Structure 1
Amino acid sequence: MLLGIPLLLAATALRPRFARLPENKPVLLRADAPALFALVDEIAQVAGTRGVHAIAVDTEINASVMPYGLRGRRLLTLGLPLWEILTPRQRVALLGHELGHYGNGDVRHAAVVHTALRSLTTWRYVFAPVPQPTGIEILVNVVYIVPGLLVQGLLMLLDQLTLRAAQRAEYLADREAAHAGSSEAAVGLMDRMLVVDSAEILLRREVNALAMSGPRSAREAEHRADELWERLTAHMASIPEHEYERRRRAGSLRGHSVDATHPPTHLRRARLLADVPRDAAVAPDDDRDRRIAGELAAARTAVARRLIRDGLDG
């Protein structure tokens, strides 16, 4: 029993960590956004998988679907800056891509591998050496060397074993994006991904301008937070075609790393153009798009205010 107690404690500490619903960002359930969930369900059916149980909205220029909880429910995370710069058709393609990872059996999105990657990443953080250690922290760093190396080795091994499958899964998910939103929308999504850094620069510039204008202007800006999205959309619409072409050529000249989980955007775009053109399996619906915009209105304002506050605090 004396030996069993520390083993039980170790097993408890090393148990798989399951994600939870985020507490620091708006989370929508079906009752909050029926039109958006209906769209996700329709796209999931096209991709050959099930829908999601919750939708979180945050400040990232990204989107993802991940399992959470012991029952493996799914959480879709929409980055509002990315969502705002896409057309309705491109948004369908984006959702088709994210759900396509599950419809195509992406090994990194499978419950066992995803949980293992998440747990190992958490433990790598736990065993990271304390920077500028003092006193007892020096001893802690020494004790953490061996378990830290073991965790890092396991994480690198699992990463390498699933690397090729992850790269292939991106191309398959792009195919689902074209299936759901049309080939044209999927190619347009790739073009937008080429210039997302421009959106990030614009957001940072707007927040810096508010910081320099004084606290009163910043407080007023929080009440007009939605204007941030209007300026972002106008900025992205002003990017000329030759800039997209320059980015594609730069990506081609730069090449890519063989150990990258995502293939270069210009290669993914070329793959879409090489396939037989597809029409949208999810029919356009202007009324649905307006209802979705209404459902996201509160989160849209909250995220804009969060961007302004974080920028001013930073």
Structure 2
Amino acid sequence: MPAVGRETTQQCPECGTEIRGDSRFTVWCAACDWNVDPEEPQPVPGRLERAERALARRHGEQLLAEMLSGREPRPRRDASAVTATALALTVHGVTLALAVGGVWCVMAGWGGAGVLVGLVLLALAWALAPRVRRLPGDRPVLFRKEAPELFALVDEVARAVGTRSVHAIAVDGNINASVMTYGVRGRRLLVLGMPLWEVLTPAERIALLGHELAHYANGDTRNGLVVGTAVRTLSLWHHALRPLPHPSAIEMAVNAFYVMPRLLVRGMLALLVRLTSRAGTRAEYLADRLAARTASTHAAVGLMDRLLITGPLKLLLRSEANRAALGGSRSTRKATARADELWELLTAYAASVPEQEYERQRRAGARRGHQVDATHPPTHLRRACLLAGEPVTAAVMPQAHRTERIASELAAARTEVARRLLRDGPD
């Protein structure tokens, strides 16, 4: 079990206010914000991701102002979405042109050189062709017959959101959740990060499901077949055209030859990000609104607060993985038995975080613009949006017997995920 902190008392060196705190967490002053954010913010890697985060913040502020003024942003196919689709089709057109050119070179009768060029073009076209996602093979995947109560809850949440339910549910060790499609028929997959699921209350879990399923209803172009696969194709080009490290004389010439194509690909990627950023931010706000209407405003706000402590939760999981590694083969043999202990440790820690630490995280997050990832608006803006206006009650209520049955259905998956976390640590 996590160590219990002792209460500490001291005077604020800035304003003299008495500070009461928990020894496990940062000591700070709520009156003047002294020491509210002592950590150095980690730089965001990659120019494109930095630009994407900046756009998400700017559009997050603009859309929040619109909603606070009474204009709720609705999903729509505006000029940016149309332009993004056209640009994505152009990217796919290049892939198609490579395939057609490759076939033509092979069939033109130019001999060995023509066949070689054609095969190279066909290989490029194959590498860049849009891929249909498959069910993940590296994590537990549940279907209806294996988890009827969990699927019943997801079905109920989907009806409340106004969309179809999912065909499969994958479980992994990320402190996150997501939805996607797989297969040529576009079947729906929900991915639940077990560490996040475990630390949420039953109502907050319903809010999480409501938020993720709402993405199907909002028509977010970033994850669509046309635009989403174009972004992946451009990302592959950008990676393939990166400069060769420690180049020889010939490689320096290759790097110089790659400069213009790389700049062109980067420019197209940046343009796609800019064109889809506002629509993506709008989709996140709408998903939060639907989550609140499904599980209540209180539950959706609670989910936002839990997202602020994902960093400490990840550190705790990594610490437990290090302890297991130091334990050697004996810890490996006992990994299954320790699975429940890991989840108990995680949930006990989350439950022990005092309100003053959540408040510090909220204030620090507002200062540095905390975001779940590059595509989400800042968490404090999402929270403010949820708290604007009258609070709403839940359309889907948690039920104790359902919660117990779902825990039983997830038991094997949560054990497997815990064993992997103890072996490999969090991603």
TM-score normalized with structure 2 length: 0.67
Contact map agreement 1:183 1:279 (CA 8 A) in 2: yes
Question: Are residues 132 and 310 of structure 1, via their aligned partners in 2, closer, same or farther at CA, if it must alter by over 3 Å?
Answer: farther
Shift of 1:99: 1.1
Q: What is the letter of the counterpart of residue 282 of structure 1?
A: V
Kindly provide the amino acid, as one letter, of the partner of residue 109 in structure 1: N
Aligned to 2:285: 171
Kept in 1, the 8 Å contact 2:369–2:379? The answer is no
Letter paired with 2:235: T
From the CA coordinates, give the structure whose radius of gyration is larger: 2
Are 2:2 and 1:2 aligned?
Answer: no
1:275 aligns with 2:378: no
1:74–1:121 Cα change, 3 Å: farther
Alpha-carbon shift at residue 171 of structure 1 (Å): 0.9
Residue 254 (structure 1) aligns with: 368
- Deviation of the 1:299 alpha carbon: 0.5
Q: Cα distance, 1:63 vs. partner? A: 0.3
Q: Following the alignment from structure 2 to structure 1, what is the Cα–Cα distance between the partners of residues 364 and 265?
A: 37
Counterpart for residue 45 of structure 1: 159
Compare 179-188 and 118-127 and name the one that shifted more.
118-127
Offset of residue 86 of structure 1:
0.4
Q: C-alpha separation between the residues in 2 aligned to 1:38 and 1:144?
A: 53
Q: For residues 242-275 of structure 1, what are the alpha-carbon distances to aligned partners after superposition, in whole Å with 9 as ceiling and x for unaligned?
A: 0000111112222479x95211111111111113
Q: Residue in 1 aligned with 2:234? A: 120
DSSP-derived class of the 2:105 partner: coil
The answer for unaligned runs of 5 or more in structure 2 is 1-103, 108-114
Q: How far apart in 1 are the matches of 2:195 and 2:163?
A: 26
Whether the aligned pair in 2 keeps the contact of 1:44 and 1:51 (CA below 8 Å) is yes
Task: Determine the structure 1 residue equivalent to 2:337.
Answer: 223
Paired residue for 1:299?
413
Q: How far, CA to CA, are the matches of 2:406 and 2:157 in structure 1?
A: 15
Q: Which residue of 2 aligns with 1:79?
A: 193
Matched letter for residue 2 of structure 1: C
Alpha-carbon deviations, 1:144-173, whole Å to 9, x = none?
A: 545443332222111110011111211111
Provide the identity percentage. Answer: 62
Q: Is the 8 A contact 1:102 1:109 kept in 2?
A: no
1:70-92 deviation digits (Å, cap 9, x = unpaired): 22222111111111110111011
Provide the residue aligned with 1:90 in structure 2: 204
Distance 1:223 1:178 in 2: 37
8 Å CA contact 1:18–1:115 kept in 2: the answer is no
> Following the alignment from structure 2 to structure 1, what is the Cα–Cα distance between the partners of residues 351 and 163?
34
2:340 is equivalent to residue 237 of structure 1: no
Q: Which moved more, 1:9-18 or 1:20-29?
A: 9-18
- Unaligned residue ranges in structure 1 (runs of 5+): none
The worse-fitting range, judged by mean Cα deviation, of 163-172 and 85-94 is 163-172
Larger CA deviation: 123-132 vs 293-302 = 123-132
User: Are 1:212 and 2:330 an aligned pair?
Assistant: no
- Of residues 148-157 and 13-22 in structure 1, the stretch that sits farther from structure 2 once superposed is 148-157
Q: By how many angstroms is 1:211 displaced?
A: 2.6
* 1:202 aligns to 2:316 (yes or no): yes
Q: What is the SS of the residue equivalent to 2:334? A: helix
| Counterpart check, 1:14 vs 2:117 | no
CA contact (8 A) 1:207 1:308 kept: yes
CA contact (8 A) 2:301 2:386 kept: yes
Aligned residues, how many? 312
